[in-house]
Chain A
Amino acid sequence: QVQLVQSGAEVKKPGASVMVSCKASGYTFTDSYIHWVRQAPGQGLEWMGWINPNTEITNYAQKFQGRVTMTSDTSITTAYMELKRLRSDDTAVYYCATSWAVGPFDYWGQGALVTVSS
């Protein structure tokens, strides 16, 4: 069965960087895009971008351009999302999710809480 297992909760200071990982299993890693979606406390879902692990081509939401980097390692079927220059309003649960091309996000990781606080 498809599983996406994310790294654990993080607490960071403003200005720092955070990297969240997403370990995929149960499907061919290079067949699906990996998306990153975040959810601030009590708020809705916000798409951050995707990576195609087959080509390593990425597409980031304009809001995060210059601060986010998405990578993948096909040898260990793991995707990564690094967010730099953290601010307090980056406090959120960060999810990874899979899709093919223009399809829905059919599998989701369990989420990783990132807290940004001085």
Chain B
Amino acid sequence: DIQMTQSPSSLSASVGDRVTITCRASQSITTYVHWYQQKPGKAPSLLIYSASSLQSGVPSRFSGSGSGTDFTLTISSLHPEDFATYYCQQTYSIPRTFGQGTKVDIK
């Protein structure tokens, strides 16, 4: 199975901060990585697909980069509604696997 390791597991930030979350795969997955946002009590929602493509309707302050084994999700300027948990996921192989999540909370 491909392991997806996110860092950090949690972070505290302020509105307006630039936030970067990283995800490392245990083997090369080219660009078959996707990022999700989950708010408490809600289903995850897709933010970024194929490493760097912005899902329709997602604000442009979200961006993704990387290929191979190392990937990054960046929020350029944190908005109040961005406080949530973020997950990376690989769809390169079965089983589909997720990172353990990064919780972004208010400093």
Residues of A at under 8 Å CB distance from B? 35, 44-47, 50, 59, 61-62, 95, 97, 99, 102-106, 108-111
Complex contacts, A105 vs chain B, CB 8 Å: 34, 36, 44, 46, 89
Contact in complex: A47, B98 (CB < 8 Å): yes
* Whole-angstrom CA separation of A97 from B45 in the bound complex: 10
Contact in complex: B44, A108 (CB < 8 Å): yes
* Whole-angstrom CA separation of A109 from B42 in the bound complex: 10
Complex contacts, A62 vs chain B, CB 8 Å: 95
* Interface class of chain B by DSSP: loop
- B82 → chain A, closest Cβ, in Å? 19
Query: Which of B50, B96, B99 is A47 in contact with, Cβ under 8 Å?
Result: B96
- B2 → chain A, closest Cβ, in Å? 11
Contact in complex: A108, B43 (CB < 8 Å): yes
Contact in complex: B55, A103 (CB < 8 Å): no
Contact in complex: A108, B95 (CB < 8 Å): no
A-B contact pairs, 21 of them (CB 8 A): A44-B87, A44-B101, A45-B36, A45-B38, A45-B87, A45-B98, A45-B101, A59-B94, A61-B95, A99-B91, A102-B32, A104-B34, A104-B49, A105-B34, A105-B44, A105-B46, A105-B89, A106-B46, A106-B49, A109-B43, A111-B43
